[in-house]
Structure 1
Amino acid sequence: MTEKVQVLVAGAGPVGLTLAAELKRFGVNVRIVDKAPAPTDKSKALVLWSRSLELLERTGKIADYLAAGQPGHGTRISKGRELIAEIDLDGIDSPYPYALMIPQNETERVLGETLAGFGGAVERQVELVAFEDGPNGVTATLKHPDDRLEQVTADWLVGCDGAHSTVRHGLGLPFEGSTQPSDWVLADLKVEGLKPDKLDLYWHAEGVLAFFPIVGNRYRVIADLGPTDGAGRSGEPALADIQALVDARGPGGLVLHDPYWLAYFHINERKVKDYGRGRVFLAGDAAHIHSPAGGQGMNTGMQDAFNLAWKLALVIRGAAKADLLASYSPERSAVGDRVLANATRMTDLATLRNPVAQAVRNLAAKVVLGLHQVQRKMSEALSETEIAYPKSPLTVEGRHAPHGHDLPRAGERCPPEAAGGLPFGAGPDPRFTVLGAGSAATALAARFPALVDAHARPPLGGDGLWLVRPDGYIGFAGAADDLAGAEAYLAAIAV
């Protein structure tokens, strides 16, 4: 007999685990499968940014992430011993004004524990090998370790299965982009002689050298090795090679030892235009890959999952029309475009080869990065607190929407402090939160009980009526008495 499941998640990296845990939190029947026999033991992605931490707080496990990592408070850009510029993150408007430096294997561990706490588990050595999308569900074929094939029917399939995604290939979606024409090297090891409070970036005439603090004196070291010959480098680098590179490009006097992971790699920059088709969606590296500059990849993928989870849950619960899911691709694809473009710009800037261009870059960075406004914009972009959905079909400005210097617009992230206690979207029910009069919340919850939390929060700035989505973004913004506008907004979503 073919098993029936509401959502089948292919891939149990950070993105798949995030999606499965969120869906289980909302009471959805989920299966998550991964062909790997065990979670990764590599550090891989190293940063959880402020916006991701805000969203993870809703699961009740935020203390576990904080305990497993250490705050990074910014970036130092140097040329040898000369400090060119310094970027501070302490001014980020978030309960988490820093980059949490945490190895990916630790992020996956806490996500796995979160999933287990909601009653879920990863099925290991189980691979999605084929699927067929139909009007009433997706028929998927799973391959087990003993080569047994299992047929599963799912209402929805989500491919979180990485850059070589079986789901993306099955949909036939082009993965457009290119491979950067440079060889790169990474080393996960211990370094003596650096302060671990910030990322250290060295701009050298022969290429960039970066030190990402992990925990204690453990670092990720990354450097570009110049234009590739096309074939790429085979094997793995020796510790002595990395030490020589650091001696040549760094400040001098650094000692490397105890390597955990040494490797060569290339940077691919690719993205799909549409994040799904029919009853099948993509999230994370299955939809977008790019330079590690800025540490945005894993965070962007996890936020894909946060975005999709509450929408799937409301549709599966029968509280929202399936049309709600049509907002996922335009919202997250626009974010993916911006993240990829920013990562490319940062990489291109750090890998300039022309000596004149390097000198101009260094001088400009010394001046421009010292400006407070530039620092603020950069920290907002890196922390992903600037992410907004102004052109989303779920973004509506009602009658006389309040505007002001400190007031967010419809589509923007609602300040976490406005939640007044538990974060927006916490708990087992994905509902909209009313910021406004209690009478408005009572009326909206009475008409849309499956969509609206009956407990109102104070309006932002003392006036106005806002509907905050379960992921903390403002869906509707109107005047304090624009109850009709808020009702029309919810009626367009509700079944």
Structure 2
Amino acid sequence: MREVLIVGAGPVGLTLACELARYRVGVRLIDRSLRATQTSKALVVWSRTLELMDRMGCTAAFLAAGLRARGVTLRSGGRVLGHVDFSGIASPYAFGLMIPQCETERLLTEHLRSLGGAVERGIELVAFSRGADAVEAELRHVDGRVERVTTPFLIGCDGAHSAVRHRLDLPFGGSAQGDEWLLADIRVDGAGAPPGDEVSVYLHRDGPFVIFPIPGGRARVVATIGRAEDRPRPDPTLAEVQALVRARAGPGIRVSDPVWLSHFRIHERKVSEYRRGRVFLAGDAAHIHSPAGGQGMNTGMQDAVNLAWKLAAVLRAEAAPALLDSYSPERNAVGETVLRNAGRLTAMATLTHPLAQVLRNGALRALLGLGAVRAGMVTTMSEIGIGYPASPLSAGRGAGRRWPPERAAGPPPGAGTDPRFVLYTADAAGGAALAARFPTLVEPLPRPAPEPGRLHLVRPDGYVGLAAQADAWEEAGRYLGALAPA
């Protein structure tokens, strides 16, 4: 079996490589950079991503390295507008795991190494051509040597300036948000410092100011500092950060020991299709958006998990190639939702008109007092509410939804080395007979049905594919027959 070529060894490319290696698919992961990310960048791994890491086998390492954020508090003018407690997340991981991206990449690289894989650095994709049966790619090594390779599939995980996307000539529609933002990774202390296990949002008349906790007693500070200009600004100084903290959060907070001071702008862009033939896009190569809510990296890593089991099943000749047709519509819909939600949060936080700010703060105070609103917020932020109800792989009432981990009745669906569906039924004999008809698609032993009178086929990524009546064996057979290899 020829190796799948993944371009870009950030969290998304690493996740995809790990998953393909776990499913015993040959993979080659390249990156033009000579070294891994050295800065914190994306900071949070959310509940749904941690659940998916259970399948990957690396959750424990992340939990040991990260800091568990228990909630978020919104303040304005010295008053608390509301608090959202992450313990309400309906997941075994009812928190946001704060961990710098450089650590995320290190842990995923180590996990890939444990699976027999590695990152090849100093290699750049310079060209490729798509054929009916393969992709021909041209790679340039750091020493100038040019290598030509043939791969069954090429996946661009190479970020916002994706070479793969550019060479596909896919429009990256969207725009830049109008504000300039300050970023500082620093140490925060003092009598007025917020708790070290929560995200603190200060909605000031001059713009939002947010403190994110980081392991090791550090914090990430972000804030708007005015409208963006055409010319680049010099990096901020620690004194400027301290002045901003004093103005927007109060005099009782001290900042020190900076390791990263920078400015950035928010871009909101997305492709409309994540696939062209044998070439796919995932992560920032397909979608970039506001960091509000911390969804970007998580969404990209979940792109990778969604694609990996499908590629593995097809490459192992255990599923029909048509299975891959579901990737773009499923993840495109998720990308649209994440972009829209993050954009709304940013727009709300950056209101500039005094009356609009007063109305916003009053609305937040009222809404955050409602349990249903807080529950909706944590479901969205943690990404456990993501599903695929409109997917071509979803059939029946309730199909497409996340299968809660407590219903697994064994290892998570998709764990191990085979990308198989799991059948949940009260009829063990009937279930075994169905599995025997489709041995490459379904685990041989059915598991007990958690819903009386219902039958479920759960995908390797933990979403319901088929939801049907308990005796719907013909329907289940048709469903699997459409996915079975020729």
Distance 1:224 1:473 in 2: 38
The residue type equivalent to 1:411 in the other structure is G
**How far did residue 27 of structure 1 move?**
0.5
The residue type equivalent to 1:115 in the other structure is L
Look up the match of 1:424: 413
Q: RMSD value over aligned CA atoms? A: 1.0
Distance 1:390 1:481 in 2: 22
Residues 402-461 of structure 1: per-residue CA shift (max 9 Å, x gap): xxxxxxx11100111111231121100000001113223311221110110012222122
Look up the match of 1:405: none
Look up the match of 1:441: 431
Look up the match of 2:463: 473
1:348 aligns with 2:337: no
Residues 6-37 of structure 1: per-residue CA shift (max 9 Å, x gap): 31000000000000000000010100000111
Asked if 1 retains the 8 angstrom alpha-carbon contact of 2:457 and 2:464, the reply is: yes
Q: Which runs of 5+ in 2 are unaligned?
A: none
Look up the match of 2:160: 163
User: Where do residues 1-80 of structure 1 align in structure 2 (5 Å cutoff)?
Assistant: 5-80=2-77
Asked if 1 retains the 8 angstrom alpha-carbon contact of 2:91 and 2:405, the reply is: yes
**How far did residue 112 of structure 1 move?**
0.6
Residues 374-416 of structure 1: per-residue CA shift (max 9 Å, x gap): 111111000000001011000001xxx5xxxxxxx11100111
User: Where do residues 197-346 of structure 1 align in structure 2 (5 Å cutoff)?
Assistant: 197-231=197-231, 233-346=232-345
**How far did residue 136 of structure 1 move?**
1.2
Look up the match of 2:96: 99
Distance 1:67 1:141 in 2: 40
Distance 1:22 1:37 in 2: 23
Distance 1:376 1:105 in 2: 31
Query: TM-score w.r.t. structure 1 length?
Result: 0.96
Look up the match of 2:401: 412
Asked if 1 retains the 8 angstrom alpha-carbon contact of 2:228 and 2:265, the reply is: no
The residue type equivalent to 2:342 in the other structure is A
Look up the match of 1:406: none
Distance 1:22 1:444 in 2: 27
Distance 2:451 2:78 in 1: 47
Asked if 2 retains the 8 angstrom alpha-carbon contact of 1:5 and 1:31, the reply is: no
Q: Which runs of 5+ in 1 are unaligned?
A: 402-408
**How far did residue 276 of structure 1 move?**
1.2
Distance 2:434 2:339 in 1: 39
The residue type equivalent to 1:221 in the other structure is V
The residue type equivalent to 1:414 in the other structure is W
The residue type equivalent to 1:210 in the other structure is V
Between the two proteins, what is the percent identity of the paired residues?
Answer: 54
1:191 aligns with 2:191: no
Secondary structure at the aligned position of 1:235 is classed as: coil
Look up the match of 2:110: 113
Secondary structure at the aligned position of 2:312 is classed as: helix
Distance 1:206 1:169 in 2: 38
Asked if 2 retains the 8 angstrom alpha-carbon contact of 1:186 and 1:223, the reply is: yes
Look up the match of 2:394: 395
Distance 1:237 1:183 in 2: 12
Query: TM-score w.r.t. structure 2 length?
Result: 0.98
Distance 1:234 1:359 in 2: 31
Asked if 2 retains the 8 angstrom alpha-carbon contact of 1:196 and 1:216, the reply is: no
The residue type equivalent to 2:478 in the other structure is A
Distance 1:427 1:250 in 2: 48
Asked if 2 retains the 8 angstrom alpha-carbon contact of 1:103 and 1:214, the reply is: yes
**How far did residue 80 of structure 1 move?**
3.7
